[in-house]
Amino acid sequence: MSTTIAQNRSFGAALWDYLTTVDHKKIGILYLVSGGFFFLLGGLEAMAIRIQLIKPANDFVSAGFYNQILTMHGTTMIFLAAMPLIFALMNAVVPLQIGARDVAFPFLNALGFWLFLAGGLILNASWFLGGAPDAGWTAYAPLSTTSPGHGVDFYVLGLQISGAGTLIAGINFLVTIVNMRAPGMTYMRMPLFTWTTFVVSALILFAFPALTVGLFLLMFDRLFGSGFFDASMGGNSVIWEHLFWIFGHPEVYILILPAFGVFSEILPVFSKKRLFGYTAMVFATVLIGFLGFMVWAHHMFTVGLGPAANSIFAVATMAIAVPTGIKIFNWLFTLWGGNITINTAMLYSLSFIPTFTIGGMTGVMLAAAAADYQFHDTYFVVAHFHYVIVGGVVFGIFAGLHYWWPRMFGKILDEKLGKLTFWTFFIGFHLTFFIQHFLGLMGMPRRYWTFLPDQGLDTGNLISTIGAFLMAFGTIVFVINVIVTSVKGEKVGGDPWDGRTLEWAIANPTPHYNFKQTPLVRGLDAFWIEKMDGRKEMTPAEPVDDIHMPNSSILPFIMALGLFIAGFGFIYQVDNSAWLAAVFIGMGILLGCMFIRSVKDDHGYHIHKEDLDKGAGL
Amino acid sequence: MKGWMGKIRALFLLSSLALILSGCGRENLTAFLPKGYGAEVSLNLIIISLAVMIFVFIVVMIIYTVVLVKYRRKKGQEDYIPKQTEGNKALEIIWTVIPILLLVIIAVPTVSATFDLADESEKEDTLNIKVTGNQYWWHFSYEDEEIQTSQDLYIPVGKRIYLNMVSSDVLHSFWVPSITGKMDTNPENENTMYIEAYEEGVYWGKCAELCGPSHSLMDFKIVAVSEEEYNQWVTDMQNFDAEAVPETASAQEGQELFQNNCISCHALGSSPVAVAPNLTDFGNRTKIAGVLDFDKETLVGWISNPEEFKEGNKMTNAEYLKNGSLSEEEISKIADYLLQLKPTTITPESATN
């Protein structure tokens, strides 16, 4: 198809290719680019926060604007940066790791991405349309229901639409992993990254509906005059907190488990050993996922749920430390006795271990309900979740990008720049957040626009801001690294790291159809087994035959566009009912596309085996 | 290798140095120096859990260091393929069981402390105060004593006092780190928490739940005084006479202006009106609006343009500001009146041993 004329194609053709693609590798790149963009945006917001707090009684930004920045920093980083960057890795890697030619539902995969982007753009459009949401990323009612202007409406619609995209992506990966594994790849032979993707997809399936429901109720309260969270109308604002955290806590594991998966791939490869205690690792992952649903109220210890509820949730939360500890020790013993190479991907993985251990320690401390009365909503909590989300998820994303960059783009990211990023980011990170543990207990609540002089909080905040600048520097160097590598970097072969799993058994660049012949999997670390037996390639499970591929489609993009238009209609119809037209037009576009998709047969196409040898689909 | 660990060590040194420089924070604000029962219970629990966790961290770091020192690739061993160990049952059982035991060490005192801090057995026999969180100020109603006050909460030292908390608008959270941990104020239900101050003193309180633009400017104080001083305070507050004529002419005019412009929201004495802070003992406060310096110039500035100091506060919507009915001179007179509202000799300065 379009890839056969890949040479010299115009920008327009490339754009069209990406707008219509259903190829998991290209969708991975789309997720990477947009997630990366939002990551920089969220970082900019973080810098504004740290500059405002560089000294007491500062007024770099106004109090109201500060609340918008802090809300958007959290919302952007969680929903629009961390999630899509993880999806970028999943899309780029998981089908290859299980020996599949694509995901189960390529069309839905594209739809999931475009819905996420539409939601993200709606959310950020608020900056230019009267102000961003300002009730925190948690949007607690009644602050969120009574917040003036349209800010929180953008939050509701933006997250609702991008959340639908996430749900679709989750279901897609579940089906892919259940149905599309290559012959011989039993569940207990799946690489850990595939396992974590599998568990995370299940978490998405059960957690996101709670957010969807909560957002609908919030939307009705704000836009259609209902009173679900309004005490004066018989509603209850604590219900929102429950709904939000029933989603929100599993969400934390949705973010961290794939990072665990990344480290479980990198550590064995660069210590030349198989993962220690594979079975325990798998069960620990499943157990963390399961327990993740039992602990949401530890975010609500000070709400007044009573000592019985607080105690139950405290103990349940502590229980999660056990499978997490199992993982930490298994990683350490994977390294034990190994032949360890330290490159950038490995630096992130190695520094993750102590960093995340600190995050886990403070997690257990926070779980002690009566101690949490002091920690709750202070900078201690801010420090804790940045230790797990930056020290875990962001380190994991950086590690994964350095590790899989040659798979995604055929080149190895520059090691010198990579190490510069690592050291500045790592030192900056600890400088920023370690001190915040103490700031919290010294009396600094989170989400504070300013602090007064003479409260003993000045030095800590100054150090924290200096660290933030180091992190920003490291991030900029990473962007430069990406540019330098793509301009100057040299193409590498398909297996630059002496990899162990299936994604490294493919030539570079990855053909459109991934595997010419579906590989036969003979055990855990399938490619490693073949290499140990002296072979250079996987043993095929089938003769060379025609390859069935899905057709590209512009419909996912148009469907997302429809919801984008409808989103604005929903937000503004409270001001002027003429905006209902946008709702009808947008929803009409969406339903029209769904109708077309339903009635129009699309059987995909075949790459014929004769053409494979001539290089079709490369 | 050396540079690696060296950098980590330097980092920790730098952080701990910073900590020493800044100390444990300001006395009467920091949770590190507990001056009340709740804060002490919490700090004990923090220390127990921190000790266990530091033990875990040390174990992890020892293995980590050994691994990195011993098993880094050596020259001439580039192609060495180590033994592909699958796992080790004994080890895996050890690092499952020991963490469970360690967690029990934390879990037992946690449950016990959680129930202890929620104990309501003495509620009926002691002082109960209703606390209301508002954007962006705190109201305190001593229901049995028929005293209403705002911003400064006077309590007798060494006595368990129950706070029954609600919110009049959005969620807030009542936090006085050196006395006790937080409790949220919700609009739909009353939360109960008890406090007990060990020493006389003025303790800094903060709102700990995002409640709007001026969330960070919602400070309040707990003033813990001796039993006699507290009783004196109660008597004086109960005997407050809103009609009493101030001494100076300016304050007298201010009183009339106050009655005409402010009283619909701001109450004096035991009036239950609590749209805005009760100003009965305003002259004894140490801060204006919780965070501003306490002097006449600031007070006039505050009354003239509250939005400049506390974004989103509700006084901005007051009638006198909307129609500009008060001149600066008149505001100055109101300030004179407010500053002389000192119905009692028990002030934050009394809160010393």
pLDDT, tens digit, 9 for 90 and up, residues B95-106: 999 999 999 999
CB A140 to CB B215 under 8 A? no
Each as own residue / partner, the long-range contacts of residues A527-535 (CB below 8 Å, 24 or more positions apart, any chain) are: A527/A495, A527/A499, A527/A500, A527/A501, A527/A502, A528/A274, A528/A499, A528/A500, A528/A501, A530/A505, A531/A498
CATH code for the domain in which residue B28 is found:
1.10.287
CB B31 to CB A373 under 8 A? no
**Alpha carbons A384 and A364: distance in angstroms, whole number:** 10
pLDDT confidence of residue B6:
60
CB B91 to CB A335 under 8 A? no
Looking at the predicted structure, is the pLDDT value of residue A543 above 80? yes
CB A303 to CB B184 under 8 A? yes
- The residue whose two tokens read 């989750």 is A170
DSSP assignment string, B275-307: SB---TTGGG-SEETTTEE-SHHHHHHHHH-HH
- pLDDT, average across residues A199-207: 97
A425-481 residue pLDDT tens: 999 999 999 999 999 999 999 999 999 988 989 999 999 999 999 999 999 999 999
State how beta strands B152-156 and B191-195 pair: unpaired
First to last CA, chain A: 10
Tokens of A345: 């991907």
pLDDT confidence of residue A461:
96
DSSP assignment string, A440-466: HHTT-BSS-S---TTSS-HHHHHHHHH
Within B118-248, residue ranges assigned H as helices are 227-238
Query: CB–CB of A383/A433 below 8 Å?
Result: yes
Q: Which residues of B134-143 are buried (b: 16+ CB within 10 A; e: fewer)?
A: bbbbbbbbbe
Residue A163: pLDDT band with limits 50, 70, 90: very high
Tokens of B15: 């952080």
Report phi then psi at A229, rounded to 5.
-110, 15
Q: Closest approach of chain B CAs to the CA of A456, in angstroms?
A: 5
Looking at the predicted structure, is the pLDDT value of residue A292 above 50? yes
State how beta strands B137-142 and B147-150 pair: antiparallel
Q: Closest approach of chain A CAs to the CA of B13, in angstroms?
A: 11
Cβ within 8 Å of residue A143, ≥6 positions away: A135, A136, B170, B171, B210, B211, B212
Task: Look at residue B303 and tell me if it is in a domain.
Answer: yes
ipTM: 0.92
Cβ within 8 Å of residue A579, ≥6 positions away: A568, A569, A571, A572, A573
Question: What percent of chain A lies above the pLDDT cut of 70?
Answer: 98
**Alpha carbons A31 and A110: distance in angstroms, whole number:** 10
The helix/strand/coil state of A236 is coil
CB pairs under 8 A between A and B: 327
Looking at the predicted structure, is the pLDDT value of residue A6 above 90? no
What are the CA-CA distances from residue B312 to residues A65, A140, A555, B174 (Å)? 12, 18, 45, 20
CB B57 to CB A361 under 8 A? yes
Q: In chain B, whose CA is at the least distance from the CA of A373?
A: B181
Contacting residues of B for A238, CB less than 8 Å apart? 186, 188-189
**Alpha carbons B347 and B152: distance in angstroms, whole number:** 10
Q: In chain A, whose CA is at the least distance from the CA of B11?
A: A427
Q: In chain A, whose CA is at the least distance from the CA of B107?
A: A315
- Which run of H or E residues covers position A468? helix A458-488
Contacting residues of A for B108, CB less than 8 Å apart? none
Q: Closest approach of chain A CAs to the CA of B123, in angstroms?
A: 16
Tokens of B40: 């002490």
**What fold, for A21-553+602-613?**
Cytochrome C Oxidase; Chain A (1.20.210)
Cβ within 8 Å of residue A111, ≥6 positions away: A165, A168, A555, A556, A559, A560
Contacting residues of B for A311, CB less than 8 Å apart? 110-111, 114-115
Q: Closest approach of chain B CAs to the CA of A274, in angstroms?
A: 6
**Alpha carbons A131 and A124: distance in angstroms, whole number:** 10
A218-227 residue pLDDT tens: 999 999 999 9
Q: Indicate the average pLDDT of chain A.
A: 95
Task: Look at residue B263 and tell me if it is in a domain.
Answer: yes
Task: Look at residue B25 and tell me if it is in a domain.
Answer: yes
**Alpha carbons A443 and A436: distance in angstroms, whole number:** 11
Q: Closest approach of chain B CAs to the CA of A57, in angstroms?
A: 10
Looking at the predicted structure, is the pLDDT value of residue A323 above 90? yes
**Alpha carbons B339 and A305: distance in angstroms, whole number:** 42
Residues in chain B predicted with pLDDT less than 70, given as ranges, are 1-23, 353
CB A427 to CB B171 under 8 A? no
pLDDT confidence of residue B352:
84
Query: CB–CB of A550/A604 below 8 Å?
Result: yes
Tokens of B181: 């941990």
Q: Count the domains in chain B.
A: 2
Nearest alpha carbon to residue A165 among A108, A122, A215, A218: A108
CB A365 to CB B204 under 8 A? no
Q: Is the dihedral of CA A302, A303, A305, A310 positive or negative?
A: negative
Nearest alpha carbon to residue A83 among A113, A126, A118, A128: A113
- pLDDT, average across residues A249-266: 97
Q: Which of A271, A377, A459 sits opposite B209 (nearest CB)?
A: A377
pLDDT confidence of residue A454:
87
Query: CB–CB of A270/A340 below 8 Å?
Result: yes
Distance of CA B99 to the CA centre of its chain: 34
- Which run of H or E residues covers position B118? none
The helix/strand/coil state of A412 is coil
B52-85 residue pLDDT tens: 999 999 999 999 999 999 999 888 887 888 999 9
Residue type, A494: G
Looking at the predicted structure, is the pLDDT value of residue A315 above 50? yes
Query: CB–CB of A109/A103 below 8 Å?
Result: yes
Q: Which residues pair with B220 in a beta bridge?
A: B205
A339-391 residue pLDDT tens: 999 999 999 999 999 999 999 999 999 999 999 999 999 999 999 999 999 99
Q: Which domain holds residue B279?
A: 249-350
Task: Look at residue B283 and tell me if it is in a domain.
Answer: yes
Residue type, B3: G
Task: Look at residue B160 and tell me if it is in a domain.
Answer: no
